[in-house]
């Protein structure tokens, strides 16, 4: 995935974040399947728990700081005119 982000670390983190969010969406969709067995449900929920822990860790202070730095590096609105 190519993003218009100058910071390569932030670009990589955003790509990883996107992949994990897609994984969460897939897992939630799997939970909605008809005729899901309790064993399948348990496996999906375990994977969902792992994914949410990864997202929580991923969205730490460093990630937030990198996003804030990217925002601060953008030109002000009056500089664009």
Do the domain assignments include residue 30?
A: no
Residues of the domain holding 63: 1-25+39-71
Sign of the dihedral defined by the CA atoms of residues 43, 47, 52, 56, in that order: positive
Q: Any residues with CB less than 8 A from the CB of 2 and at least 6 apart, and which? A: none
Do the domain assignments include residue 31?
A: no
C-alpha distances out from residue 34 to 27, 29, 30, 73, 81, Å: 14, 11, 9, 48, 55
Report the pLDDT value the prediction gives residue 47, as an integer from 0 to 100: 97
- What is the tens place of the pLDDT at every residue in 46-65? 999 999 999 998 889 999 99
Phi first, then psi: give them for residue 73, nearest 5 degrees: -80, -10
Do the domain assignments include residue 78?
A: no
Do the domain assignments include residue 34?
A: no
In this prediction, the residues of the chain whose per-residue pLDDT falls under 50 are none
Structure tokens at 21: 């969010």
pTM of the model: 0.79
Number of domains in the chain: 1
Do the domain assignments include residue 52?
A: yes
Do the domain assignments include residue 15?
A: yes
Do the domain assignments include residue 32?
A: no
Report the pLDDT value the prediction gives residue 2, as an integer from 0 to 100: 76
């Amino acid at each position: 995935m190519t993003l218009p982000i100058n910071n390569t670390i932030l670009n990589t983190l955003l790509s990883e974040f996107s992949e994990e969010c897609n994984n969460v969406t897939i897992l939630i969709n799997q939970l909605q399947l008809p005729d899901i067995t309790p064993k399948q449900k348990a496996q999906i929920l375990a994977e969902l728990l792992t994914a949410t822990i990864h997202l929580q860790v991923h969205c730490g202070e460093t990630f937030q700081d990198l996003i804030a730095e990217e925002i601060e590096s953008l030109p002000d609105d009056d500089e664009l005119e």
